[in-house]
Structures are given as C-alpha cells and as structure tokens.
Structure 1
Amino acid sequence: MTSNRFKPFLMTFCAAAACMVAPLSMAQAQTPVAFAIQDQPLDQALIEFARVANVQVLFTPDMVRGKRANRVSGTLPADKALNALLNGTGVGIKSVSADGRTFSLGATAVAEEEPELVVVTALKRSSAIARVPAAVVAMNASEIRERGINGADGLVDEVPGVSINYSTGGTGYGLLSIRGIGGADDYKPNGSPSVALHVDGIYQTSNAYVGMPLFDLDRIEVLKGPQGTLYGRNTTAGVINAITKGPSEGFDGYADVRAGNYDYTRFETAFGGKVSENFGVRLAVMAENGGGFMDGEGAGTLAGFRPSVGGVVQTQVPAVTDPGKREGFGDKDMVAARATFSFDFAPETNLTLKTFASRDRGDSRQYDRLARAQDNTQFNAGENADPYSFYSQKYFTHAYDIRGLSGTLTHRLKDNLNLTVVGGVQSTDRTDGGNGDGSPYPGYEYAFDETLSQASLEMRLSDDNGGKFDWILGAFYLSDSADFDSTWTSFTVRSVYDNNHEQRRNSFALFGQGDYNVTDKLRLSAGLRYTRDTVDYKGQNIDHNPWGISIYNTTFATVSGFSWDRNFEDDNLSGRLTAQYFISDSLNVFASASTGYRGGGFDGTSIMTLEETLPFDSETVTAYEAGARWYKGRFRASADVFAYSFKNLQATTRLANDTNGRTNVGKAETSGIDLAVGARLFNGETQKLDLDLSAAFLESEITEYQSRRAADVTATVGDPLPGAPDVTANLSLTHRVAFSGGWDLTSRLTVAHHGEESNRLNALPNNTAEAYTLTNLHIDLASPASWSVYAYGKNVTDEVYFPEKNGASRLVGAPATYGLGLRYSF
C-alpha cells in the first residue's frame, strides 16, 4: 500500500504527466472542445482528456487503478466532458480551480447519480441522444461486445423492431427490415434496400453488405423510420450507422480471443495511437472460424436420380450425386483487417483515412425440409424431424471478398462554420450457390457470380454549435455498378441456362436542414432533399439445352436467347418538419411529418422473360411520428408512436405473362409504438443492478395489391407485410460487483422475444414463422491488471426456432451455443 506521505508527490506527478499546459483564462476553459475519447483504462483516458482540453487533472494512482472510463465524443465544455468520462467509475470532480484550468478528483458517490451522457451523430452532428427528435438506439463498444454483435444482421433480436428476411437467396442475401419495412425488398445485389447501412459515413449500396464483418467498433446507431432529408433515398425503413474506432491521443489497444462449442473460434485485436503530435494510426484485425451446427445427410433416397420424360429415364442428364455425410456444416471462415490514419494538419483541420479488406470462405448454410410424413413429394429424400439435419447433393460454400478506402475531412472555416467531406470507394467479388427448396432435388439449383463497385462523395457545410439558428447544407454523389451472372441447373425445366446482366447507377442529391430555437423551450426544424437517379440496365438470357430435352420456352412462356438494354430516370423532393418542446432539462417531446422514397429501377433476380426487364417506379412514403424523452439521473424512458403510408410498393408478383417479376404492386400502411426504459434498480457501494427494457409493437397491412391472378389479390390484401413481426422486445439485467483489490464482476442476462412473422407477401401458414424467445448470458470478470475472462451463452434454453419458412423448406436458428473468452486491454 502506498504511504500517505508520498500521496502529495504522486498527485503532483500525475498532474504533470497528464498535462503540461500554459495558463489560460476561465473563458477559455469554458469554451466547448471537440472530444473523441475512447473506452479505455481510466488513467489513460484522463491523460488524453487533459491534453485535448488543455487543462490539469489531479488524481492518485490508487484512485483510478483497475477502472475504465466512458467514451466521450462531441463538442462539450471541459467540466461536462469530464463528468461524462467519470460517470459510474466511483470517481468524481471534487474541486475546480478559480481559473477553471485545474480539476481535482476524488472518490465520490455523487458521480454515480449523474445522468448518462450518450452522444450520437444520427443527425450528422454530435448531439446528446436525449435531445434527438427521432427514434434512435445507440450501443457503445462494451455493449456491442457483450451482446455478440459482429455485423448488421446481429442487431436482429437485440434492437426491437429490427428483423431480417433471407428470401430465396439464402443466408448470404439478407433483407433487413425496421418497423416492418424492408422484408419485401429485392435480395439481389442491384436492388435498393429500404434500410440504409452506413459504415464510417459511407453508404453501402447493396443488400450484399448486410453480412459484412463489423469489428473494433466505437458504437452502432439505429435510426428507426424514414430518413429522407439527411440520408436520402432508400431510407424508408431507417438507417444503421456503424462507427469504427480511430487512433486515441495515447497508445492503447486490446486483444480478444474466444472459443465455443461447434468448434467456434474468434480472434480480434486492435491497437494504435499518436505516432507524432499530428499523426495517429490504428490497426485492427479479426478472424472467425467454425460454428456450424447443421449435419448433412447426403442425397438420401434421391442419390442417382435422373428425370424421366414419358416414362423414359434421361440417361444423358447427370444423376444426383451423393456427397456423403458431413457434421458441423455452416462453418464460418472469415478474416478482415482495417487500418486507420489520422492527420491533424492544423488545430482546425483533420483528415481520417480508413482502408478495409475482408475475405469470407464459409459454408452457405442450407435450408432444412419438413419430415417426409409432412411432405410426401418427390423432393423429399427421407428427411426426418430433426431441424438441424438436412439432405443435399452438394455442400455449398461461398467466396466473398470486400475491399475499400474511405476518408473524412473536417475543417473549421471559422467559429460556428464547419466543412465536412466524406468519400469512399469500394469493390466486392461474390460467388455463392444453393438450392432454395432444402432438398437434393435440383429443381432450381443456382450458382451466382457477382462483381460490385461503388464510389461516393458527400460535402456538408454546417453551423451546428447550438446557437439560435443551426443549419446544415450538403451535396451527395454516388456511382455504383453490379454485374450479376447466374447459372441454373433445373430438372424442372430440364435444362441448364444462364442469366447475365449488369447495372450502372448514378445518384445526385442536394440537401439542407435548419433548426430554429424559437425560445429556450421550443425548437422548430425543417429540411429538404432533392435527388436525381439514372440507371442503365442490360443483359441476356441463354438456354443452353445441354441434354436436348429443354422445356424452357414452355415453362416461362417466352423464347430463349433474348437480350435487353434499358434505362430508368427519376427525381424526388423529400422533406421533414419537426417541432420539439423542452418541458424541462430532463423531459422533452416532439412531433414530425416527413416524406421519403426508395429508388425505382430493375428486377435483380434472374430474368426469364423480357417483361421482367421493364423498370418499376420509385416507392414513396409519408410518415408521421411523435415521441417523448425523459432522462433523470440513472432513469431514462422514451416512447415513439408512428404511422406510415406507402405508395407504389415494390415487390415480386405475377406479371402479365404469368411469370414472377418485380414491379409496383400496390399500397401498404404501418403503425405502432416503440417503448424503452432504463433504470438503476440498485446502487450500493460495491454492487449495482441496471435494467434495460425496450419493445416495439407493430401493425402492418397491405391495403392494395395488383396481380394478374385474382386469387392472389384476394389472398394478399389485408395481410401484414413480410418482415413485420407484431411484437419484438428485449429485456436486459446487468449486475456489477466491485471486489477489493480492483476486481470487478459483470453479469448480463438478456431475454429477446420475436413475434410471428411472414416471409412473403402472401402470409400463408407455410411461410409464416412462429414467435420465439431467446435467452442469452454474458459474465465478465475483470482484473486490476487490465485483463478479463468471460463466458457467454446464447439461446441457453435451446429453443428450436425458424427465422424463415418457405413452403416445406425452412431455415432453422442456432441452438444453444456457449463459449469462453480472454481479453487484455493496454
């Protein structure tokens, strides 16, 4: 134990180490400063804080040993930023010098009662989440890690209102939906997803990026509802912002390794800091393997099968092969890396560059099929009732390669006038295959080969420092391309045929938003965005007829060997009006009305007829929303009610020639309420218990439907939208215990409920997934030496559930999974 006679010396030493600064006035000390301090050991965070704020912070080593600081991001006065950094650590500000440049810290329980300051950039500027007039969910790095979120698809069952539909394309083609919008999207890469995914400010143009790895994250923000003003087209469901970590002022990092059942392993490390006064670097690497929980049974009774024509077996057709049995199918095989470089050209100018690459060679998890007793068809190869086993003539794998470069330039032109430029380029190669009916029978067995590329640039000029009138003006440009080649082997069509097409798209937008503080209590906001899109689309369809028995033309009522070259143009003006009233510092309410749209274009699935190449119009939405926010100490509550109306709904239906094609099918309405409550149930000297409860209640209805088949219209009108569960909820209890010697034990119990959900427009029982409830556990023991050991369990009750059903085929969710991990922070 440190002797008391040395403590004054240690305080002086720590203060000197924390900052070597010149005197400054009280006015300078109270000037807001831009902070970007990461979650890290408290002593390092205090040193970084002192340097950034240009102040002194006095503390003893014993006071901060084994503690971790909160992340602080945004432009804040030094005292507020320091309170946010210390919140929940048991350390608080004891005194401040008369000139405002020296903060003395001490052990205190008062800091525990300070309200949690969560800063988000949902409105393209730093704002406390409690003051954002929109439905926003934010997770910091610790919460992301504890919940096991490694990609955008990991938000399902963690954020109420978020769902995923894998459609016919398998698990590599997920369709995210928020508040019931997105489940009817096109699963192919040239489509326009309703949920806009952004990574470090870069819009990801395709559904192909839903499964891209996310690691070394600073936070994730989920904006629910249309965001047409600041984010533009294809945000009718909402926006997901993933923000990765950058270099900190001091050198820091971590290494994290875990292993679980089903031979699962994951390794992640990141480190970096300031190399010089004006240059910083951070490197991050991730590798993930195993985890496959399905067992392949081979081709079963269909091994050796060939089609017959008129009772004659077609021996020229390759027979169904038997690949044998395989355990643990569905393994991951992924590695990814990111390098971040930060240049401070001047106190008012920063350039951050990020380069990223990932390589995925995992198994393409296949669909299971109903047991033979429930599915007496030629497709069933002897399927049993075990949902974790399946029959197939191939064990499909995929190859996904993504690489990209992005940059963000921030420059303060003068006080209250800031320029931000965000740009990036990205390219992707993907190959995948499967058989969507969950059987060895190659009714429609596909092999996809895709090449994607995109380039985007956004420029924003803003005055957003909280004055009487804040504003933002911007311009956005995007160019992307998708080359898609598909090969189909079909015993149903008795042929092998190719479908090759390419799409080139350009989008340009101008946008602006203003916030006027009419009084100290009332704020009015208005925004507009003009967008113009042009799309070129061409391709060809070839029936190879290798076996000489093709019935392609009869099946699709067409003539094979056709090609097309089409284009589409559209523009849109979207807007948003918001009124926000601050009843008190801890309670505010708002109401908004907005419009948005999802860009029109072309069917991205395989084109079998010329009619499927015709363009469809943009989908539009009118949205109304109202909400309330109450943040008081460790208690917080929010409620949001909403109602949306959609026109020109885009979906797949029967076209005039009776083939499936994507077009505008009608109208739909959604409405609901989001609720969230967070509270500290117990706040003792050594123990704390926190509750987080959130839920989303949703009603959706297809009010108008167009189809060539009258029976489809009758069956569909009045149905809910796909990807629109009626109730989703998440309950978390987090218990923390502080032991003597600086040890801490954190335990988290999470229970997630996902309501009944249809996977198709026509919500028949055989494509409606039943409700399910998952229970997850995470226990973390942190040592005073900056290392921790943890254990986790997901779906610990081993509930059998199906995220998707498609007739007799079904996609089963993961059974109970467990693992252990070790993490070291430095």
Structure 2
Amino acid sequence: MSYVCNRVVVSIACIETHARQCEACNMATPYVPQRHSRLALAIAGTLGASAVFGQVEVPWLVMEEVTVTAQKREQSATDIPISMTVMGSDDLNEKRIQDFADLSVNTSALDIARGNSTNNPVIAIRGIGSTDPWINNNPSVSAFIDGVYLPFGSYLGMPLFDLERVEVLKGPQAGLYGRNSIAGAINFVSVEPGDAIGGHVDLSYGRYGETTLQGAIDTPIGDSLKLRFAGFSAQGGGYIQREGTVDSTAGFSRAPGVIPAIPSISAKSDYGDKDVVAGRASALWQASDRLTVDLRVHYANDGSEIVNSTNLNGDPLGVFQPEQGAIHVDYDDLAGVMDARNRGASLELNWEGDVFTFTSLTGVESLSRDYSVGDFVPLRLAQPTYDEDVSSFSQEFRISSEGDSLYWLAGLNATRDSIDYHRSLSSWDYLLGELISAYDQDDESWSVFGQVEWQLSPSLLLSGGLRYTDEEKRYEGGSWENDPFGTSIVAAVYPEVAGGLFGESDYDDQDVSGQLKLSWTASDATLVYGSVSRGFKSGGFDGSGIVEEIGFLPYNAEELLAYELGVKSRLLDDTLDVSAALYYYDYSDKQVLAILDLGNGITEAVTQNAAVSEVMGLDLDIKYLINEHWSAGLSATVLDSEITEWNSDDPAEAQARIGNELPGTPGTSLTGDITWEGNAGDFDLRASMWATYTDSTYRDIENTPALQAESYTLLNARVSLGDPARGWSVYLYGKNLADEEYRSSVRTLVGMQGAYFGAPRMYGVGVNWQF
C-alpha cells in the first residue's frame, strides 16, 4: 500500500525522483510512495500545511514515459522517428557514468577510443567515425551541452555530472544539428534549478583510493528566479604500474657526453591518479508570463596523471622489449601530468507567443591545456609536449509554430572557433633533435535550417528537414628543427623542414543536408517509420605537424546517405517497450588517418580522403517491467561494414584495404540490465546488475591483426540501502567484476604498437544524502 497526497498545498521537492500527477485529486502535485510518507508528513508539518491522505496501490517500479528534446522541443521518446538511447539521472548515477569512456561501455553502437591519452576522444556511432585524434579535428558525432555545440574532441574530456539525461541519437542528424552530425548527435542536458530549497551530496571511496564527491543545491529567490549550484571532484584511482628506467634504460644516450642520458627513475604502482574538479552554476528566470531566461556557467580543472598506452612490440632501436602479455603497464620514462582549464557559458531566451515560439541560444567555450603524452617506451624517440588553446562562440536563433496539422521550425546558426597549437616532439634518442610544430586555425560557419511536420491523416505524419551550411577555415603555421646539441638529423629525415617549413591555406565548403521521414501510428502504442537522410562531416587540415609542403593542402568533407526503417511499440499493458531499426549507409570520402612509410623506418600519420564504404546494421532495444519489483532491459546492435573503394595511386595499397572493416565497428554489441527494488524491513533496498558485451573490433583502417581488440564482457553491479524519509542511503558498487582484460583503443608510433586497456575490477562504497 502507499499514500498519495490529496489537495496538499505544499511542494515536496525532496521526492522529485518519484513525482508525477496526483492520482487521488488529478492535480499536479507529487505522489508519495509508502517509503516516503514520513518525509511528506514531516515537510507538510514543518511548513504548517494540512493534508488529507488516501490509500491507493502504487508499485515500486513503473514503466516511465521518457521526455527528450531530440527535435529541439520536448516530446515523448516513443513519438519520435529517431533511433536513440536515453539515460536519465538515475541510470547515470547508478552506473557511475562520469566521463565519455563510461558512456561508451553502456551504450550499444557507440564506440569511443582514446586520442592522445584521454585528451581527444574519437567517437563513432554505428561504425561511422573518424580515426583522427588531433585537436583540430571535428568529431563525426556532434555533442551538445544544454544545446550548445562542442565542435572539437578536446572539449569532450569534461567530467559528466548533475545531468538530467543523456540522449544518444543514432544516424545522421544534419537537418536540426548541422555539420559533423554525420554519425549522430549526443545531447547532455543538465538538471534545471528546482522550485524549493534542497539538494544532494554523494561521496564514494573505492579501490586504488578512488574518491568521488559530487552534489548540488537549489536556492530559489522569490517566485521568478531559481538558482542551482553543482560540483564534482574525482581524486585517485590510479591502477597503472609505472616501470621506470632503473632496470632498463637509465644512463642510455645515443650521443654520450653530448646529449644528456636518460635519468634513473624508480618504479611506481597505482599510477594514473585522477585530479579533477568541476562546477556549474545555473539561473532560471521567469521574466514574464511569456519570457524565460536560462543562464548556465561551468568550469573544470584537470590535473590528472596522464596514462600512456602499454607497449606491445618494443622499439625500433632494439634497446627495449616489453613483458609479453603485460597490461596496465606504463613503460615511459616521462611522467605526464595534465594541466587543463575548461570554461563555458550559455544563455538561452525563450519567448512564448500566441502563434509562435522564439528561441535565442548563445554559447561560449574555451580550453587551455599543457601536457606531455610520452612515446610509451623508456626512451626519447618521439615525446610530444603540447601547449593548446581553443575557443568557440556560437549563436542560434529559432522560431517555431504548431497548429492542428502542421508544425514548423526555422533557424539561423553561426559559429566561430579558433585554435592556437604548439607541439615540441623531442627525439633525442632517435633523430637526435627536436621537431617543433605550431599553427593557428580559425573556423567560421553559418547555416540556415528548417523542419516541417505535416499530419497527412490521423495516423500518417510526413516530416522533413533541410540545412544549408557555409564554412571557411584558415590555417597558418608550420614546422622547424630544434638542434641544441648540434646532433639533429630531423632535417635530414624531413628535408623540407630544413630552414623551417611554413605556409598558410584556406578551406571553404558549402553543403545542403537533411532528411525526409514518414511515420505511421499503427495503434496508440505503435509507431512505424522510414527515413532517408544525408549528412556530412567537415573537411580540414592536418592537426599534428606538417613535414612536407603537400601537408598544407586540406582534406575534403565526408558524406553519408542513410536509409532506415524502424518501429517503436509499447506492449503487454504498458509493461514492455520494444524498438528496432534496420539501416543501410552509403559512406563516401571517409577521412582516414593513414600511416605513410617515408623510408628508413620513418612513418608519418596523415589524414586523407581515402575510402568509400558500406554499413548495414540492426538496433534492438527492449525494456520489460516484469512486475512491481523487477525490471529488465536489453540493447543490441549488429553491424557489418566493408570498404568498397580506396583512393590511391598505388594499386597494391588499394587492394590491401578494399574489403577491410571500418575501425571501431564490432559485429555485435550488447548491453543488458536487471533491477530489483523493494523493502528490507523499514528501509528501501535496490539491487541492479548490468553487463556489456562487445565483439572483436579492428582499431585501425589497415585492420592490423596485432592491433585488433578481442571480444570482451563487462559485468557490473550496485546495491543500495536507505531511508528516504530521512534522506540518506548507502551503497556498494562494482565495475568489471570478472576483471576482464580488454583493449579500449590502440596507438602506433615510429613502428611501435601500443594498446590502452580498460580498467580492471573496481569496487567501492558510497553514501548519498538528499536534503
């Protein structure tokens, strides 16, 4: 049994996670399950409110209606003809999704690989994604925080905290989301300020000293202004064995007496500690009955120890050999520490008119960071040190209107981005010198877009979106040799660098993209849809270090033509949700990070348009409410990808790559979960278990067997016990409970091969307080 507030005149903000329309009096007041009835009475008594309580049956678990803003307005996820994965705040907190890597292992069809350690994540959805980890590369998946576009992968190293939900939209979304949403889009929606004073604090401690503290507080001012302050901190958790140089290369130099020798460095366990602090302030002002102003400001500082990949095959000099089968080992002589500062703000104005709604969204974002990654061997072969500054500005205006049978939206978007990049590539033990590269890049883009939905009949809806994009990029910079010891052969290996190689180049492009969709409401509980979409990913410039004049030439945009059939249905008296999507992609001009052999053991990674590919796949999502105590879910993706053409003047190179799979494209990926919730005496008890399976995956475009990630399964669990009437709960968590060894991504450098391995078994305890 449970109790429902009937004609209560107090807002019970503390139980927002269970709030819905009052069943007893059909008013928009929260309902209170039995485990929360003491809290409701306490609040009502404290505020002097009187209440009448009636008894009704309320289950512990219910099949929730998920609201999303995937189409720039609030809608039920089941009513939108888009294949998507949506995770609410409860899921995000329970599964400890605190960064992009956590998001990947909990979402089928989403693959996130490391770029420059954790600094520039490389993202793919359904096999569509770039392999370029450089800072100026635009990801193939467009990411948005509270509607503001994040144009570079470098912004995606931010911690994820105090989020209302994450929406992963699969397939091209160019009509509403614009350039670089060729694979899909990810919306991060932060929690809005609440109506009453309250908040939460969560503290956890786990294996390897991993400590996480996060929380938020709502502090409304009057009836029209609401404020929210949220914070996050992650410390410790390093699980890497750093070998040092004492027993390997200490004292080594290719030019003894001229170039200083490698110092003696002791081994260190539990390396790779996090040191992340972040905060967000939000203000929501109801300026009038028609005008709402939403301001959000955020800041993050990352001083974590940088983890290198584990060397797999030694070094080209034959000086060092790694232990066979070793994982979670850092052999580098260089201990890198991140020094990154991320700042951003957004201002959204919404004006509700009688006929139309007007929205203005302004966003600014900046990132400054200095760090060294190392070359994953205890030698100084190619150790990069970076000094990077990135800034972005975006402005979007939208106007929309909804009638009985017609909805339309029109918009204008403009962005300006700039990058200031400097890299010192130290090669004292290989090229006996240093290669310095620096450039400035400025990007400008504007677009006009629109979407129309026309209700052809009570059951048929035709929708279409179109966007015209104009973008320009300007690159100016180059590379030069640094030879402080008079020993460098950098210019001998890269002759065009001798005396300095400098240049400038422009890139401009125009594109028309969009989609056409037909939706059929087969019944009140079933939606069937078909769509044809076209998306594109921007072209650009080499973002590492140009060593040949030809490197100043830009690469061109990618294009994707996608066909999709899907169905979404709620069955068995609203206890079973099923959605499925079948799709075919024609993927052309793919930008690939190809490894070119320059001779004498020297290689160069160059981004080029080299591939035409086909992708076919199936997505399946099932959510089943077994009864009021048990629920289960399953998400699955089956993919088949193939390179059908390769653009090269070398027939042997083309032949070697035609038929290869696209990197980051597992044949099968699965996520499943099961949850139980009920009483344990006077307390609430919730237990959940979830697992992820990922098929074997090639990590490079060449499909190198040594760099293939084998299939793996991750098992995770969480148990919590609490007293919601007093606002507290304690919990135990475990991730990768079977201690599975698996590769999350790979790295190649001057003929060396390395792999980043996923975290080992992690577990801990936490306490949560709602107030």
Query: CA separation in 2, counterparts of 1:748 and 1:122?
Result: 28
CA spacing shift, 1:740–1:444, aligned 2, 3 Å: same
1:714-725 equivalence runs, <5 A: 714-725=655-666
1:795-814 equivalence runs, <5 A: 795-806=736-747, 808-814=753-759
SS of equivalent to 2:248? helix
- Contact 1:738/1:745, CA 8 A, preserved across alignment: yes
Tell me which amino acid in the other structure corresponds to 2:37.
Answer: R
Query: CA separation in 2, counterparts of 1:272 and 1:539?
Result: 47
* Residue of structure 2 equivalent to 1:817: 762
Query: Shift of residue 162 of structure 1?
Result: 0.7
Residue of 37, 58, 61 corresponding to 1:65:
37
1:272-311 equivalence runs, <5 A: 272-299=218-245, 300-307=247-254
1:49-64 equivalence runs, <5 A: 57=29, 64=36
* Residue of structure 1 equivalent to 2:48: none
Tell me which amino acid in the other structure corresponds to 2:454.
Answer: Y
Query: Shift of residue 559 of structure 1?
Result: 3.6
- Contact 1:38/1:218, CA 8 A, preserved across alignment: no
* Residue of structure 1 equivalent to 2:387: 449
CA spacing shift, 1:105–1:568, aligned 2, 3 Å: farther
Query: CA separation in 2, counterparts of 1:38 and 1:471?
Result: 38
After superposition, give the CA deviation of every residue in 1:661-698 in whole Å (9 maximum; x if it has no partner).
Answer: 21211311111000011102233xxxx11110011111
CA spacing shift, 1:318–1:291, aligned 2, 3 Å: same
* Residue of structure 1 equivalent to 2:731: 790
After superposition, give the CA deviation of every residue in 1:537-590 in whole Å (9 maximum; x if it has no partner).
Answer: 000211012232322233234243011111111110002100000010111110
1:600-679 equivalence runs, <5 A: 600-632=539-571, 633-653=574-594, 659-679=604-624
Query: CA separation in 2, counterparts of 1:56 and 1:812?
Result: 49
Query: Shift of residue 467 of structure 1?
Result: 2.8
Query: CA separation in 1, counterparts of 2:385 and 2:32?
Result: 63
SS of equivalent to 1:210? helix
- Contact 2:327/2:757, CA 8 A, preserved across alignment: yes
Query: Shift of residue 714 of structure 1?
Result: 2.2
CA spacing shift, 1:115–1:735, aligned 2, 3 Å: closer
Query: CA separation in 1, counterparts of 2:470 and 2:232?
Result: 38
Q: Which runs of 5+ in 2 are unaligned?
A: 41-50
* Residue of structure 1 equivalent to 2:423: 486
SS of equivalent to 2:102? helix
After superposition, give the CA deviation of every residue in 1:607-654 in whole Å (9 maximum; x if it has no partner).
Answer: 222211111111111111110001131210010111111221112236
Tell me which amino acid in the other structure corresponds to 2:288.
Answer: A
SS of equivalent to 1:392? coil
* Residue of structure 1 equivalent to 2:47: none
Q: Does 1:518 align with 2:518?
A: no
Query: CA separation in 2, counterparts of 1:107 and 1:801?
Result: 52
Residue of 364, 370, 382 corresponding to 1:425:
364
Residue of 210, 213, 218 corresponding to 1:267:
213
* Residue of structure 2 equivalent to 1:363: 305
CA spacing shift, 1:536–1:824, aligned 2, 3 Å: same
- Contact 1:157/1:728, CA 8 A, preserved across alignment: no
* Residue of structure 2 equivalent to 1:575: 514
Q: Does 1:408 align with 2:348?
A: yes
- Contact 1:41/1:67, CA 8 A, preserved across alignment: no
SS of equivalent to 1:547? coil
1:317-336 equivalence runs, <5 A: 317-336=259-278
Query: Shift of residue 241 of structure 1?
Result: 0.4
Query: Shift of residue 208 of structure 1?
Result: 0.5
Residue of 138, 143, 162 corresponding to 1:197:
143
- Contact 1:371/1:385, CA 8 A, preserved across alignment: no
Query: Shift of residue 505 of structure 1?
Result: 0.2
1:156-175 equivalence runs, <5 A: 156-167=104-115, 169-175=116-122
* Residue of structure 1 equivalent to 2:167: 221
Tell me which amino acid in the other structure corresponds to 1:323.
Answer: I
1:35-114 equivalence runs, <5 A: 40=16, 45=19, 57=29, 64-65=36-37, 106-109=54-57
Query: Shift of residue 531 of structure 1?
Result: 0.3
* Residue of structure 1 equivalent to 2:667: 726
Query: CA separation in 1, counterparts of 2:547 and 2:607?
Result: 12
Query: Shift of residue 201 of structure 1?
Result: 0.6
Tell me which amino acid in the other structure corresponds to 1:750.
Answer: W
CA spacing shift, 1:595–1:637, aligned 2, 3 Å: same
* Residue of structure 2 equivalent to 1:391: 331
* Residue of structure 2 equivalent to 1:507: 445
TM-score normalised per structure 1: 0.86
Q: Does 1:462 align with 2:400?
A: yes
CA spacing shift, 1:657–1:569, aligned 2, 3 Å: farther
After superposition, give the CA deviation of every residue in 1:28-76 in whole Å (9 maximum; x if it has no partner).
Answer: xxxxxxxxx997265xx57xx79xx9957597896842689xxxxxxxx
Query: CA separation in 2, counterparts of 1:41 and 1:157?
Result: 25
Q: Does 1:188 align with 2:134?
A: yes
Query: CA separation in 1, counterparts of 2:174 and 2:190?
Result: 24
Query: Shift of residue 296 of structure 1?
Result: 0.8
- Contact 1:183/1:723, CA 8 A, preserved across alignment: no
CA spacing shift, 1:61–1:701, aligned 2, 3 Å: closer
Tell me which amino acid in the other structure corresponds to 2:734.
Answer: G
After superposition, give the CA deviation of every residue in 1:507-526 in whole Å (9 maximum; x if it has no partner).
Answer: 10100000011111000001
CA spacing shift, 1:790–1:18, aligned 2, 3 Å: closer
Residue of 324, 343, 363 corresponding to 2:285:
343
Query: Shift of residue 384 of structure 1?
Result: 5.4
Tell me which amino acid in the other structure corresponds to 2:129.
Answer: G
SS of equivalent to 2:133? coil
1:247-262 equivalence runs, <5 A: 247-262=193-208
Query: CA separation in 2, counterparts of 1:284 and 1:159?
Result: 25
- Contact 1:493/1:552, CA 8 A, preserved across alignment: yes
Q: Does 1:552 align with 2:499?
A: no
Query: Shift of residue 274 of structure 1?
Result: 2.1
Residue of 57, 63, 67 corresponding to 1:119:
67
Query: Shift of residue 727 of structure 1?
Result: 1.1
SS of equivalent to 1:583? strand
Q: Which runs of 5+ in 1 are unaligned?
A: 20-36, 69-102, 308-312
Query: CA separation in 2, counterparts of 1:206 and 1:144?
Result: 24
CA spacing shift, 1:718–1:38, aligned 2, 3 Å: farther
After superposition, give the CA deviation of every residue in 1:247-277 in whole Å (9 maximum; x if it has no partner).
Answer: 1112221000000010100000101142111
SS of equivalent to 1:153? helix
Query: Shift of residue 657 of structure 1?
Result: 7.4
- Contact 2:414/2:447, CA 8 A, preserved across alignment: yes
Identity of aligned residues (%): 29
- Contact 1:654/1:709, CA 8 A, preserved across alignment: no
Query: CA separation in 2, counterparts of 1:235 and 1:325?
Result: 44
- Contact 1:656/1:708, CA 8 A, preserved across alignment: no
* Residue of structure 2 equivalent to 1:97: none
Tell me which amino acid in the other structure corresponds to 1:602.
Answer: F
Tell me which amino acid in the other structure corresponds to 1:721.
Answer: L
Query: CA separation in 1, counterparts of 2:191 and 2:61?
Result: 28
- Contact 1:449/1:485, CA 8 A, preserved across alignment: yes
CA spacing shift, 1:567–1:362, aligned 2, 3 Å: same
Tell me which amino acid in the other structure corresponds to 2:299.
Answer: A
- Contact 2:169/2:185, CA 8 A, preserved across alignment: yes
After superposition, give the CA deviation of every residue in 1:688-723 in whole Å (9 maximum; x if it has no partner).
Answer: 111100111111111111245544322211111111
Tell me which amino acid in the other structure corresponds to 1:815.
Answer: P
Query: CA separation in 2, counterparts of 1:420 and 1:501?
Result: 36
Query: Shift of residue 785 of structure 1?
Result: 1.3
* Residue of structure 1 equivalent to 2:701: 761
Query: Shift of residue 183 of structure 1?
Result: 4.1
- Contact 2:593/2:606, CA 8 A, preserved across alignment: yes
- Contact 1:451/1:483, CA 8 A, preserved across alignment: yes
